[in-house]
């Protein structure tokens, strides 16, 4: 690893002092001050005093480890996750963190295009085989041989498999790459699926959201960088550190929920008073993400705080979850009036038949007892 | 299969099927009784049948809060009255006046209504659960109930108790994960929906038959207390 | 045909929507048990009302429901057997008076009394009726009275009554307004009732008669649960009424007869058009309200007195106000209600045919202990009632328990307290029986 620049060297080259580097290490360690098992610690900038030993660990890692090569593939996506990560409003943190990455291939951001870009990707994959981080954005389509998403004439699933073969770790950013997202929503003409439906032999880490919170992306990568391993994941392969707590359980409007104070209609009196948005369809109770604690725009706000019910965008199938304004508790599927009418009709008909059969029995019983002189 | 998938299944296709079975099943039970033959009542009435019916329903709804009034009618074992009443009260409040459930009704009917604050609903749910347990113990211990209870009665208790207890644990985030418990609650609810037309839990539909008959029989005779 | 088959046929035949919907409504909650005097005084769970109608439930589910048929086929439920019929014969005839208190307590409002009566019907079809009851019914079929009082014996007895009380009873008077139908219990055990009622009718200026054909209003077919016999006995009354051209039939002091004549007959047979059916309790109330008879206020005001509600006249008959109106006039200072009372009143334990079955004696004595408790609770030793079957039970139990009570019939009290009599009561009560 001697010939590759370490993170510290890269930072020094950009003019960051030794002291600044110490500060960065502390900050990063704060993000990583998480118990390893349950991910229920609240995340907030500067809220926790990390253990000195952890700060040292982070510093040592950044001093000695080289920057991580990243191959960033986009398939059926809107590039929103790319926008998110690069729109981060904490230049000190994100840009510096991004400087720990060595992005070899990123369609949206890189200058090169066409054969040049594809060539750069092949070269990087060969040079850093077994070391690079594969980040995937957008869902994958295999329908009709994958023709609905091709790059340079190659189908997206083939490209994914090729890239995954030499990856040290695979990160699916955004709901599309994690669970299929928009392309998987009804009627799903291309039948988009998440990365882990294609890559089944290697661990995939999901960082869903639509888009995901930038600090979630960057800090997951930092975790990988510092500890050399993926963080603890839940059953949907999301880091428990960021997805271990439901929005509902950290939401600032929760007291209103408990007190039964709701906004019934947008802009009604309750809404203007900032009451709970549960009746407007908030999916907070079943949505796991860091929005209510870390929040967006460097901790500025998040949808509920700004007055819109949570969409549940870090959960699978949130597009088809009954609708953004339907209650979280409501069923996801229900029979329509015609089917209900048919069921009732069938029931009534069968019941009438049963009653008729029973009446025949009664008649027979009467005639039997009359015969026997009953 | 992840709990998330289980949850989506239980809230989605399984719920749809359960609701269809529920509606079809109840329609079947209704018709089977409705068309079994009803004789015309030729007995001249002495009092008002209509008044009897009204009083009968009022008595049925209000009888529970006025236990001292009915105390003369039964001597011992007020447990069934109290526990049964508390259970039904809690059940109705939770199902109709709990916000989460109201939103379910809203999605099915197209309109909603105001609901009670969570602590009240929650407390009544706890009371209902305790009442259910008391009723279970009573059914196990009371010699008459032991005699008249078969496998159906125990099943009835279990199928009704499961949604209540999973719902309560779910709301309080006590054990397992929310998604897991929500899945269990939905599975229990789906089971209940399918089981109702196959069991005596359907009594809420036949209530209207028996109470109306009761009212006409007593009203006819001019006995409307 | 096997008895069990007969029973099953009867169950199937009699079960329509009215019975079926109530059977479906039962949730096996067991609250009816707490209202039954037989259960309360014996602790025997087999006496609970819901268990008494169990055969009906089994028949209904086993024949009319898919799940019931399945359970029978799989052996989870057993078909109704001969021993079942015998067991239910005991509990349905000896430990049930069809008082219907259970239906008041049922949260679903199920008419258990009628359903248990339905079981009796099936038992009767199978020939499983207690011997005493069957014999009494036979006597009523042949002689016209369960006590065996045939026409000749009746005439003798009527003559004796007229003689003993120095009254003339209108017999078979064509075109009278009211036909009073008595019971042979009154005839044999409380014959003064004839005199009392005659006095009242005369004082009220009522055009009335008794009938030799319609001389027995007791209906043992109703106790049996046998529709054929029930109708046979009813027909005698209605035929007599029609022949005499009366406007209304008045049942005297009997409970189940009122139920049969007033509340059941119209659905079993063709009742003569325009014929009214009423009860002495209602008529007494009518006379007092309309001022046709005057009562001496406070005439019975010497010692706490209470009223025993007869199941078939009060709870199932609706004549709750009239006795109280009368007692409030006759004993305003001393009339105290028992608890419970009115339509919630506790059965005397002798109705429904129970008193005619020897094997049931201990059960009805046990049940009567509730009445003793009630009387003791209010410190009463005088009690009035308007049903002679209750009166018989009270008299029998007073003797059995050695109680120091005085029992009055309503007609007796009214007749003895008519204003305008020279002395207190112009009728000398002879020894009962």
A38 falls in which pLDDT band (50, 70, 90)?
very low
Size of interface B-C (CB pairs under 8 A): 150
Non-local (6+) Cβ contacts of B204 within 8 A are none
Q: Which fold has domain C3-128?
A: Fumarate Reductase Iron-sulfur Protein; Chain B, domain 2 (1.10.1060)
Residues A66-83: what's their mean pLDDT?
Answer: 86
- Residue C179: partners with Cβ closer than 8 Å, 6 or more residues away: C208, C209, C210, C211, C214, C240, C241, C244, C246, C248, C249, C250
Q: What's the average model confidence in pLDDT over B71-82?
A: 66
Contact A327 B28 (CB under 8 A): no
Give the Cα separation of A139 and A161 in Å (integer): 14
What local confidence, expressed as pLDDT, does residue A71 receive?
A: 87
Q: Is A126 or B63 the better-scoring residue by pLDDT?
A: A126
pLDDT value, residue A99: 62
Put simply, whether B163 touches A (Cβ < 8 Å) is no
- For the cut 90, the answer to whether the pLDDT of residue A225 exceeds it is no
Mean pLDDT of A18-23: 80
A neighbour chains, 3+ CB pairs within 8 Å: B, C
- In angstroms, the Cα distances linking B197 to A82, B192, C275 are 53, 9, 46
Q: What pLDDT is recorded for position A50?
A: 64
Give the DSSP letter string of A77-129: --SHHHHHHHS-S-IIIIIHHHTTEEEEEETTT-S--HHHHHHHHHHHHHHTT
* Inter-residue contact B132 to B157 (CB < 8 Å): yes
- Lowest mean pLDDT: which of A121-135, A172-186, B40-54, C230-244? A121-135
CATH class for domain C132-288? alpha beta
Average pLDDT, chain A: 84
Domain ranges of chain C: 3-128, 132-288, 294-431
What's the confidence (pLDDT) of residue C304? Answer: 94
Q: Is the pLDDT score of A10 beyond 70?
A: yes
In the block, which residue shows the tokens 């109608």?
A: C53
Positive or negative, the CA dihedral A65, A71, A72, A76 is negative
Which residues from C are below 8 Å from A358, CB to CB?
63-64
Q: Taking residues A290-312, what's their average pLDDT?
A: 91
Residue A45 confidence (pLDDT)? 39
Answer yes or no: CATH 1.20.950 is held by domain B49-219: yes
pLDDT at C424: 43
**Using alpha carbons only, what angle is made at residue C92 by residues C90 and C95, rounded to the nearest 5 degrees?**
75
Nearest-Cα residue of chain C relative to residue A372: C1
C250 phi and psi angles, rounded to 5 deg: -115, 115
Q: Dump pLDDT digits (tens) for C183-205.
A: 999 999 999 999 999 999 999 99
pLDDT in tens, C350-406: 999 999 999 999 999 999 999 999 999 999 999 999 999 999 999 999 999 999 999
In the sheet where C178-181 sits, what is the strand order? C208-209, C178-181, C248-251, C276-279
Q: Please provide the DSSP assignment of chain B as one string.
A: --HHHHHHHHHTHHHHHHHHHHHHHHHHHHHHHHTS------SPPSS-HHHHHHHHHHHHHHTTTTHHHHGGG--S-THHHHHHHHHHHHHHHHHHHSHHHHHHHHHHHS-------HHHHHHHHHHHHHHHHHHHHHHHH-HHHHHH--HHHHHHHHHHHHHHHHHHHHHHT-SS-HHHHHHHHHHHHHHHHHHGGGSGGGHHHHHHHHHHHHHHHHHHTT---
Give the span between the Cα atoms of B115 and B105, in whole angstroms. Answer: 12
Are the beta carbons of C13 and A362 separated by less than 8 Å? Answer: yes
Interface of B with C in 125-184 (CB under 8 A): 142-149, 151, 153
DSSP A323: -
**A247-356 belongs to which CATH class?**
few secondary structures
Return the H-helix or E-strand segment holding A34.
none
Task: Please determine, for residue A39, whether its predicted confidence score (pLDDT) is greater than 80.
Answer: no
pLDDT at res. A333: 85
pLDDT of residue A37: 34
Please count the residue pairs, one from chain A and one from chain B, whose beta carbons lie less than 8 angstroms apart.
139
Q: Please provide residue C349's backbone torsions phi and psi, each rounded to the nearest 5 degrees.
A: 100, 0
Q: Could you tell me which residues are beta bridge partners of residue C307?
A: C384
Cis peptide before A91 (omega within 30 of 0): no
Q: Which residue of B has its CA nearest to C12?
A: B36
Q: CB–CB of A171/A207 below 8 Å? A: yes
| Contact across the interface for C30 and B80, Cβ inside 8 Å | yes
pLDDT of residue A127: 86
Give residue A1's pLDDT. Answer: 41
In chain C, residues with a C-beta closer than 8 Å to the C-beta of B147 are: 45-46, 48, 51
ipTM score here? 0.91
Query: Which residues of A are less than 8 Å from B37 in CB distance?
Result: 359, 362
Chains that touch C (3 or more CB pairs under 8 A): A, B
Q: Which residues of B164-181 are buried (b: 16+ CB within 10 A; e: fewer)?
A: bbbbbbbbeeeeebbbbb
Residue C173 contacts B, CB cutoff 8 Å: no
User: How confident is residue B63, by pLDDT bands cut at 50, 70 and 90?
Assistant: low
What pLDDT sits at residue A44?
A: 41
Distance of CA A291 to the CA centre of its chain: 12
φ, ψ (nearest 5 deg) of residue C394? -60, -45
Average pLDDT, chain C: 92
Whether residue B99 and residue A262 make contact (CB cut-off 8 A), yes or no, is yes
The rounded mean pLDDT for chain B is: 89
The whole-number pLDDT of residue C44 equals: 94
Measured between beta carbons, which residues in chain A are less than 8 angstroms from residue B5?
Answer: 316
Question: What are the residue ranges spanned by the domains of chain B?
Answer: 49-219
**Distance between CA atoms of residues B166 and B44, nearest Å:** 53
φ and ψ of C426, to 5 deg:
-95, 10
Question: In residues, how long is chain A?
Answer: 374
Chain centroid offset of residue B33 CA: 20
Say yes or no: C164 contacts chain B, CB-CB below 8 A: no
Chain B residues within 8 A of A262 when measuring between CB atoms: 99
pLDDT at A36: 36
Q: What is the mean pLDDT of residues B145-173?
A: 93
Residues from chain A that touch B32, judged by Cβ atoms under 8 A, are: 351-352, 354-355, 358
pLDDT for residue A267 is more than 80? yes
Sheet with strand C305-307: strands edge to edge: C305-307, C382-385, C406-409
Q: How many CA atoms lie within 13 A of A88 on its CB side?
A: 22
B17 vs A127, more confident: B17
Q: What is the pLDDT of residue A92?
A: 45
Å between C424 CA and nearest CA of chain B = 34
CATH of C294-431, one of 1.10.3470, 3.10.350, 3.40.50, 3.40.1710: 3.40.50
B76 confidence band (pLDDT: 50, 70, 90): low
Contacts A365 to C, Cβ<8 Å: 8-10, 12-13
CB A135 within 8 A of CB A260: no
Q: What's the pLDDT score for residue A231?
A: 87
- For chain C positions 13-42, those within 8 Å of chain A (CB to CB) are 13, 15-16
- pLDDT above 70 covers a percentage of chain B that reads 92
Chains contacting chain B through 3 or more C-beta pairs under 8 A? A, C
C-alpha to C-alpha distance for A337 and A315, rounded to whole angstroms: 29
d(CA C100, CA C32): 10
Mutate to test the interface with C, among A365, A367, A371, A373 (most CBs of C within 10 A): A365
What is the CATH superfamily name and number for domain A67-243?
NADH:ubiquinone oxidoreductase-like, 20kDa subunit (3.40.50.700)
For residue A286, give how far its alpha carbon lies from the nearest alpha carbon of chain C (Å).
37
Q: Find residues 39-98 of chain B whose CB sits inside 8 Å of chain A.
A: none
Question: Confidence class of residue A67 from pLDDT cuts 50, 70 and 90?
Answer: confident
Report the distance separating Cα C409 and Cα A309, nearest Å.
77
The answer to whether residue C94 neighbours chain B at the CB level (below 8 Å) is: no
* Residues B19 and B196: beta-carbon distance below 8 Å: no
Angle at A16 between CA A11 and CA A18, to 5 degrees: 100
């Amino acid at each position: 690893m001697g010939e590759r620049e370490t993170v510290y060297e890269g930072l020094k080259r950009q003019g960051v002092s030794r002291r600044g580097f110490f500060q960065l290490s502390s900050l990063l360690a704060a993000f990583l001050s998480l118990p390893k098992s349950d991910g229920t610690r609240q995340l907030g900038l500067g809220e926790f005093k990390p253990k000195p030993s952890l700060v040292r660990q982070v510093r040592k890692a950044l001093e000695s480890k080289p920057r991580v090569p990243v191959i960033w593939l986009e398939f059926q996506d809107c590039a929103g996750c790319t926008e998110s990560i690069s729109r981060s409003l904490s230049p000190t943190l994100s840009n510096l963190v991004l400087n720990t990455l060595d992005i070899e291939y990123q369609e949206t951001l890189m200058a090169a295009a066409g054969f040049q870009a594809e060539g750069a990707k092949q070269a990087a994959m060969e040079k850093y085989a077994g070391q690079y981080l594969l980040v995937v954005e957008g869902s994958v389509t295999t329908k009709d041989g994958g023709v609905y998403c091709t790059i340079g004439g190659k189908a997206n699933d083939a490209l994914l498999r090729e890239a995954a073969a030499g990856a040290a770790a695979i990160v699916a950013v955004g709901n599309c790459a994690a669970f299929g997202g928009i392309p998987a929503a009804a009627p799903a003409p291309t039948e988009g699926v998440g990365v882990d439906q294609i890559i089944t032999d290697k661990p995939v880490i999901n960082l869903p959201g639509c888009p995901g919170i930038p600090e979630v992306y960057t800090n997951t990568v930092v975790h990988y960088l510092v500890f050399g391993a993926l963080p603890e994941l839940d059953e949907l392969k999301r880091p428990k550190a960021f997805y271990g707590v439901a929005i509902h359980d950290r939401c600032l409007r929760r007291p209103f929920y408990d007190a039964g104070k709701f906004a019934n209609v947008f802009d009604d009196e309750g809404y203007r008073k900032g009451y709970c948005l549960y009746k407007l369809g908030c999916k907070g109770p079943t949505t796991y993400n860091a929005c209510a604690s870390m929040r967006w725009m460097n901790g500025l706000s998040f949808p509920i705080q700004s007055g819109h019910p949570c969409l549940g965008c870090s959960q699978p199938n949130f597009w088809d979850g009954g609708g953004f304004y339907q209650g979280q508790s409501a069923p996801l599927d229900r029979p329509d009036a015609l089917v209900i009418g048919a069921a009732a009709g069938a029931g009534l008909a069968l019941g009438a038949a049963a009653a008729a059969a029973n009446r025949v029995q009664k008649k027979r019983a009467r005639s039997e007892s009359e015969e026997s002189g009953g | 299969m992840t709990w998330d998938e289980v949850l989506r299944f239980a809230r989605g296709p399984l719920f749809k099927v359960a609701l269809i079975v529920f509606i079809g099943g109840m329609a079947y039970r209704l018709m089977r009784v409705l068309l079994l033959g009803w004789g015309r009542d030729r007995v001249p009435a002495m009092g008002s049948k209509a008044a009897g019916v009204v009083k009968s329903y009022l008595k049925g709804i209000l009888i529970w809060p006025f236990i001292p009034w009915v105390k003369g009618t039964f001597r011992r074992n007020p447990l069934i009255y109290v526990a049964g009443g508390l259970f039904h009260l809690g059940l109705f409040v939770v199902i109709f006046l709990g916000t989460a459930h109201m939103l379910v009704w809203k999605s099915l009917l197209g309109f909603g209504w105001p609901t009670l604050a969570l602590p009240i609903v929650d407390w009544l749910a706890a009371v209902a659960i305790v009442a259910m347990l008391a009723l279970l113990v009573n059914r196990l211990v009371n010699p008459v109930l032991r005699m008249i209870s078969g496998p159906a009665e125990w099943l009835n208790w279990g199928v009704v108790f499961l949604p209540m207890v999973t719902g309560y644990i779910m709301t309080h985030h006590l054990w397992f994960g929310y998604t897991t418990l929500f899945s269990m609650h939905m599975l229990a609810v789906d089971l209940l929906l399918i089981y109702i037309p196959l069991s005596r839990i359907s009594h809420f539909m036949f209530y209207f038959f028996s109470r109306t008959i009761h009212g006409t029989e007593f009203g006819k005779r001019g006995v409307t207390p | 045909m096997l008895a069990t088959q007969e029973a099953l046929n009867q169950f199937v035949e009699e079960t329509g929507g009215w019975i079926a919907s109530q059977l479906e409504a039962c949730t096996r909650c067991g609250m009816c048990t707490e209202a039954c005097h037989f259960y309360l005084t014996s602790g025997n769970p087999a006496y609970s009302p819901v268990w008494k109608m169990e055969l009906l439930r089994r028949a209904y589910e086993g024949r009319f429901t898919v799940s019931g048929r399945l359970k029978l086929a799989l052996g989870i439920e057993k078909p109704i057997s001969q021993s079942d019929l015998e067991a239910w014969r005991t509990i349905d005839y000896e430990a049930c008076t069809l008082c219907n208190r259970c239906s008041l307590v049922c949260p679903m409002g199920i008419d258990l009394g009628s359903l248990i009566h339905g079981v009796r019907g099936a038992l009767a079809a199978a020939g499983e009726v207690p011997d005493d009851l069957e014999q009494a019914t036979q006597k009523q079929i042949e002689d016209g009275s369960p006590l065996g009082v045939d026409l000749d014996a009746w005439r003798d007895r009527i003559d004796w009554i007229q003689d003993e009380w120095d009254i003339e009873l209108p017999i078979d008077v064509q075109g009278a307004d009211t036909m009073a139908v008595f019971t042979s219990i009154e005839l044999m055990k409380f014959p003064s009732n004839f005199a009392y009622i005659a006095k009242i009718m005369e004082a009220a200026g009522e055009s009335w008669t008794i009938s030799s054909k319609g001389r027995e209003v007791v209906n043992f077919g109703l106790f049996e649960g046998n529709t054929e016999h029930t109708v046979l006995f009813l027909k005698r009354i209605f035929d007599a009424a029609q022949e005499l051209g009366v406007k209304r039939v008045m049942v005297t002091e009997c409970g189940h007869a009122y139920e049969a004549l007033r509340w059941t007959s119209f659905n079993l047979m063709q009742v003569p058009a325009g014929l009214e059916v009423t009860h002495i309790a209602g008529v007494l109330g009518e006379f007092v309200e309309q001022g046709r008879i005057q009562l001496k206020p406070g005439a019975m005001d010497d010692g706490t007195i209470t009223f025993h509600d007869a199941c078939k006249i009060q709870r199932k008959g609706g004549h709750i106000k009239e006795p109280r109106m009368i007692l409030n006039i006759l004993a305003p200072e001393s009339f105290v209600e028992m608890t419970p009372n009115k339509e919630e009143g506790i059965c005397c334990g002798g109705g429904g045919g129970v008193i005619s079955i020897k094997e049931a004696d201990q059960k009805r004595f046990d049940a009567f202990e509730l009445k003793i408790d009630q009387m003791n609770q209010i410190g009463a030793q005088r009690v009035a009632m308007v049903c002679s079957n209750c009166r018989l039970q009270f008299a029998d139990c007073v003797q059995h328990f050695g109680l120091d009570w005085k029992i009055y019939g309503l007609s007796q009290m009214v007749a003895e307290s008519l204003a305008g009599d020279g002395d207190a009561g112009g009728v000398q009560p002879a020894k009962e029986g």
